Chains A and B, each alone.
Chain A
Amino acid sequence: MDTYEFVNKIKNNEIDIVEHTHKVIEECKKINKEYNYLNVISEELALEQAKNIKKSIKNKENIKNKKLLGVAVSVKDSICVKNVESAAGSRILKGYKPLFDATVIKKAKEQGAIIIGKTSQDEFGFGGFSVNVGLSFKIPKNPFDKQRSCGGSSGGTAGITQKASFPHIALGESTGGSIAEPSSFCGVFGLCPTYGRVSRYGLIDYANSLDKIGPMGKSLQEVALLQETISGFDQNESTTINKPADNYTDFTNKKIKNVKIGIIKEAFENIDNKVNKKTLEGIKKLEEAGVKTEEVSLKMPIKYGLATYYMLATSEASTNLAKYCGMRYGISEKLEGNFNEYFTKVRSSNFSAEAKRRIILGTFARMSGYRDAYYIKATKVRTKIVEEYKKLFKKYDALISPTVPILPPKFSEIEKLTPLQQYMIDAITVSPNVAGLPHLNVPVGFENNLPVGMLLTADHLEEGKLIQLGSLFEKN
């Protein structure tokens, strides 16, 4: 049953929403025992919401326009949900129950969505494999092979999206590829929208100039539906774009006509043969549907995207994480010593190794003597990266590449990688993120029983084009 059908059945009182939600929670608990996708299952909130929906139906209140009535929505741990522990996967925020809903949660709730829990992730989004979880958090496992990674950093989000048998959509967040990458490893659709299209109000920041909240779903229709719900200007968030959002669901049935796509040559170098093969099959499918394709070169973004991204992201992260010091909210320790000693104690014992590594890298890039050569340099290279993309979008509707250069690796293989080698997993996804461009992971099939994803990237605010093209891969 698809989400539309489900929502209609709820509206017509053909499904008991409270009974259904009980079943959803039980399934989540069962899946979680094996796969660790949810840091918190928000049973109390979900059932309260379900009961309220049941009451509205009984009282014949106006529910006709509620697009997500009764639909289960899981939420990345870094997005604040009122009264539900929201820790961004970090021990330093253990016990933090926000006093307010993030704008995306407020919007989803207004449309009748039921919030089922907070999904596991790399601490603050610091990773591409969801193995960098915070101290005392559990690592999510790939839904197709428990020895392998879900991708990251929205790993739990992608995993539960693949595994849930009930109608479900998820909210993920991407800074350098954290929506597309886990979507690829778990075989689901994941849309990272244009920077500023969706409000970040209530998102626990990783890097303010790069963070984007976006939907993940088993079908693109569901993804479009949630994107439509969460998009738009927000008075509480000064970087949101003040232009009306498109009706993204309209693009799922839009006919392909006069569409031209650029195949990014450099993104196919040094990739796994199996990923290459499946991506080429995906391109063929687009061509058969009438899409014109041409090989294009994207030198600057592919060559310098990674360095630019890590310099910008860690610089911003190191300032964002300065606020976690055991006062006002989050974890605290016994008040001892002076301020510096107390802050140092709280931070040193509650951040994991990767958080410390990124704080040090980012602090270095912003430090007097190095700032111009690293942080400021990266902001200038970003300008050039955006320019190169913009030139291509004058000629092409979208660009295409694999999403990740490899198949989901085993945990035992990831353990052997140095941090730098781990960062390389982001090689393809960082550039559209640095340039704030919308991009979509499209599942294109399986190799060795593991999913492969293809990445479609479009110009700013052209999410509709991505949905239109991605719909060709929708299973009917």
Chain B
Amino acid sequence: MKVKVNKELIGHIAEVARLKLTDKEIKKFEAELREIIEKFSKLDEVDTKNIEPSLQAVELKNILREDKEGICLSQKDALSLIEHKKDGYFKGPKAV
């Protein structure tokens, strides 16, 4: 697949990925990713007609455990790893 890697594309992807890039970063990533994507586009050459995608390399079977109550994190422990919290909840930025 021929992809036009330019400033706009990099800027758009960064926004989707919640990253703010400086102009310098965008310029650098643009050149580097163009080289990488061009090289990796050679996957196009491989004939994958009628080939199933593999989500991992080893065949796995679903194993279900008994539906029994187990030990889980207490609310106090779960909240112990961050300073932003209030009334037993995580506190985030204002939504509205």
Contact = CB atoms under 8 A, between A and B. Distances in A.
Nearest to A383: B54
A419 B29 CA distance: 10
Q: Which of B13, B21, B29, B55 has the most CB of A within 10 A?
A: B13
B43 A304 contact: yes
Nearest to A194: B58
22 contacts: A99-B73, A210-B56, A233-B63, A239-B60, A322-B18, A327-B84, A329-B82, A330-B81, A335-B93, A338-B93, A339-B92, A343-B18, A347-B18, A348-B20, A356-B19, A360-B17, A360-B19, A363-B17, A364-B37, A373-B44, A377-B43, A436-B58
A410 interface: no
B40 A310 contact: yes
A195 B56 contact: yes
A392 interface: no
Contacts of A311: 40, 43
Nearest to A303: B42
In terms of DSSP, what is the predominant structure of the interface of chain B? loop
Interface in B59-91: 60-63, 65, 73, 77-78, 80-84, 90-91
Contacts, number: 176
A348 B33 contact: no
Contacts of B90: 327-328
A257 to B, nearest CB: 28
Nearest to B65: A235
A185 interface: no
Interface of B: 1, 3, 9-10, 13-14, 16-21, 25, 29, 32-33, 35-37, 39-44, 46, 48, 51-58, 60-63, 65, 73, 77-78, 80-84, 90-95
B19 A359 contact: yes
Contacts of B29: 356-357, 360
Contacts of B51: 380, 383-384
A99 B40 contact: no
A338 B25 contact: no
A339 to B, nearest CB: 6
A360 B14 contact: yes
A351 B14 CA distance: 13
Contacts of B48: 377, 380-381, 383-384
A194 B59 CA distance: 12
A195 B58 contact: yes
B40 A307 contact: yes
A337 B18 contact: no
A258 to B, nearest CB: 26
Interface string A383-408: 11010000000000000000000000
Interface string A24-41: 000000000000000000
A437 B13 CA distance: 33
Given A239-B56, A357-B33, A379-B55, A337 B93 contact: yes
A471 to B, nearest CB: 25
A357 B32 contact: yes
B53 A96 contact: no
Interface in A322-366: 322, 325, 327-330, 332, 335-345, 347-348, 351, 353, 356-357, 359-361, 363-364
Contacts of A383: 48, 51-54
A341 B84 CA distance: 16
B42 A307 contact: yes
Contacts of A380: 46, 48, 51-54
A371 to B, nearest CB: 11
Best-buried of A195, A235, A304, A328 by chain B (most CB within 10 Å): A328
Closest 9 CB pairs of A and B: A436-B57, A379-B53, A380-B48, A373-B1, A329-B81, A307-B40, A342-B93, A209-B56, A348-B20
A382 B57 CA distance: 7
A339 B95 contact: yes
A340 B18 contact: yes
Given A307-B43, A363-B16, A382 B54 contact: yes
Contacts of A328: 78, 81-82, 90
